[in-house]
Amino acid sequence: MRRGSDVFSTSRGTVSERGRNRSWLLSSIITFNVLILGIALVSGSVFNNVKINAINLQIFLIVLIILTTAWMLYYTIYTSREDHAVLYKDSHAGPVWLRGGLVLFGLCSLIMDVFKIANYVGYLHCDSAVKIAFPVVQAVFILVQTYFLWLHAKDCVQLQRNITRCGLMLTLSTNLMLWMAAVTEESIHQTVVPPEDDNSTHSYDIRAPGGSSSCNCSHSACAVLEKAYYYLYPFNIEYSLFASAMAYVMWKNVGRLVDEHNHHSLHFRLKDMLVGPAVGLVMLVAGLGTFVIYKVDVEKGDPGKRDTVLMIHYVMNTVAVTLMSVSTVAGCAIYRLDQRDHVSGKNPTRSLDVGLLIGASFGQFTICYFTIVAVVATGAEGHLNALNLAVSLLTVIQLCLQNIFIIEGLHREPFHEDMHQASVFTNPYVLQAQAHRDIHNLPGTFMETKTSPALTVHSMHVAPSAPSSSPLPQRHRLTWKRRALKEICAFLLLCNILLWIMPAFGARPQFDNTIGAEFYEFTMWAAVVNIGLPFGIFYRMHSVASLFEVFLTS
């Protein structure tokens, strides 16, 4: 919505501006139509009794992929031949961790496609050849797209803007469609329909991956391959989202003229960090331990054991979410004390980050509130329900706090080490007194007492020997505020990884605890969880990336 006004409010009626508005509208409308047609096809392939649409959907996807690949090849060749095709680059777009993640997830997706092809070869004698064609085409697409985005993610295109806008929107649509198809397949795979519903017509269609159940695999590796490639699904889902985000930022940057000023080179250093990463790692290991116990015991299907592992799972989550909330509150308090400027200037990458963060948290919020309503309405009897309620309430609080913390963090100017060192050089005793006052007057965050001796010593000894052009920047230690923020970011980052891994690799307490499916009906509850959870997983993933950025700028 704001996007529209933003584009139009800067336009002043010149011909090129009007052309910009037109191609903006046109490319948006193309995306809109492709996506809605895609949603209809995906829904048709899931809910339809005839089952003809799974093939139709794949044909639709293949057509989209081929068109997008062709455009990306055309763009790459065109820009490499033309001199000065790309004069401007957006330094914020496509940071190295995003492109690195893209390559990593791309590799996993390629392995998944190889497994899929090997699996479908076994079904070739009795199933459609389209099912093999799809992973082949997808593998080529992943190779081309990763190459394309690696090279061109920072481009601010000036030539052939209309074609480029439409091409980028096509890329965006294709990736979102692939994401949607993968999420749907993954959700169906993870949803175990309760046995009492099996005779109704409303049961979900859990397809054997090779096709109809009367078709048997002709080689022995099928069962293993099938299991293996389902574990690679989360990476493929993330790959599509990464590519979508990068395509969107490129689209926003088409026709933009940027000056490459104030690009801070930020370094990742874990020195001086102790409490945050340590507690975070303990949480991560403990969480993964309970997750493994949970998966093993739930798969056995013993109802008594199920309640026990659900309890362990809820306790683990309660502890994690509570600690996260407490440290986020501490982080927000530090921001209030902090005098850093807010960043100004247009930055599509940051706008996208904030938007995705708020948008994706919607999924987790929805599941939590639905759980709260169900548990409260049925009276919240027993330990299990009480714990379930506690986890949901605490998660809601944690989500609100974390959103505030990350949004605040993304909008702060990075700390300028030079300025700070210069002031140290000028008058070390002022800073030293300042450090003392900070430590003794301010209400304590949790690592204050541990860091204070080191910090005070450091201020006295290092400061006079560290002028602005110091050859030893690595030895420059951090003020307590920066250090506390970094510790908090590291802790939150590791906890978000934990909360990402558990649902991404198949923890479904929402279905294992039957209260949701009993209170709402099963179809309704399955719809809420299967739409909300992918967004929740993405939210955790995206929080990890954003927290990493906040960590770097703090």
Binding to a copy of itself (CB under 8 A): which residues in 349-388? 350-352, 354-356, 358-359, 362, 365-366, 369-370, 372-374, 377
Least distance CB 346 / a copy of itself (angstroms):
6
The upper half-sphere exposure of residue 270, i.e. CA atoms within 13 Å in the direction of its Cβ, equals 8
How many residues belong to the chain? 554
Least distance CB 552 / a copy of itself (angstroms):
19
Stretch that binds a copy of itself, among 218-226, 348-356, 484-492, 506-514 (CB under 8 A): 348-356
Selected from 125, 227, 264, 346, the binder of a copy of itself by CB under 8 A is 346
d(CA 88, CA 465): 40
Categorise residue 280: left if φ over 0, alpha if ψ from -120 to 50, beta otherwise: alpha
Encoding tokens for residue 500?
């990402």
Name the DSSP class of 447: T
Sorted by sequence, the CB contacts under 8 Å of residue 93 that are 6+ apart come out as 153, 154, 246, 249, 250, 253, 348, 349
Least distance CB 185 / a copy of itself (angstroms):
17
**Site residues for a copy of itself, window 7-26 (CB under 8 A)?**
8-13, 17-18, 21, 25
Encoding tokens for residue 145?
């797209």
Least distance CB 243 / a copy of itself (angstroms):
18
Enclosing H/E stretch for 216: none
Are the C-beta atoms of 27 and 251 separated by less than 8 Å?
yes
Selected from 66, 140, 215, 343, the binder of a copy of itself by CB under 8 A is 343
Neighbours of 379 (CB within 10 A): 8
Q: How far is CA 330 from the centre of its chain?
A: 24
Stretch that binds a copy of itself, among 1-9, 90-98, 216-224, 504-512 (CB under 8 A): 1-9
Selected from 342, 381, 443, 472, the binder of a copy of itself by CB under 8 A is 342
**Count of residues touching a copy of itself (by CB under 8 A):** 77
Least distance CB 445 / a copy of itself (angstroms):
20
Encoding tokens for residue 447?
């690592």
- Is residue 257 near a copy of itself by the rule CB under 8 A? no
Encoding tokens for residue 404?
């505030």
Stretch that binds a copy of itself, among 83-91, 122-130, 210-218, 523-531 (CB under 8 A): 523-531
- Is residue 33 near a copy of itself by the rule CB under 8 A? yes
Helices (H) and strands (E) in the chain, counts: 18, 2
Selected from 1, 96, 257, 472, the binder of a copy of itself by CB under 8 A is 1
d(CA 112, CA 231): 9
- Is residue 256 near a copy of itself by the rule CB under 8 A? no
Least distance CB 494 / a copy of itself (angstroms):
25
Least distance CB 264 / a copy of itself (angstroms):
17
Q: Helices 222-253 and 130-152, interaxial angle, to 10°? A: 40
- Is residue 545 near a copy of itself by the rule CB under 8 A? no
Selected from 161, 189, 256, 340, the binder of a copy of itself by CB under 8 A is 340
Q: What residues does 342 pair with on adjacent strands? A: 412
Give 79 or 403: the residue with its C-beta nearer to a copy of itself. Answer: 403
Q: Helices 2-9 and 15-47, interaxial angle, to 10°? A: 160
Stretch that binds a copy of itself, among 90-98, 337-345, 422-430, 443-451 (CB under 8 A): 337-345
Stretch that binds a copy of itself, among 166-174, 407-415, 464-472, 494-502 (CB under 8 A): 407-415
Give 108 or 517: the residue with its C-beta nearer to a copy of itself. Answer: 517
Alpha helices for 48-129 (secondary structure H)? 53-81, 96-121
Give 84 or 342: the residue with its C-beta nearer to a copy of itself. Answer: 342
Give 60 or 123: the residue with its C-beta nearer to a copy of itself. Answer: 60
Least distance CB 410 / a copy of itself (angstroms):
9
Encoding tokens for residue 474?
């690595």
d(CA 211, CA 134): 14
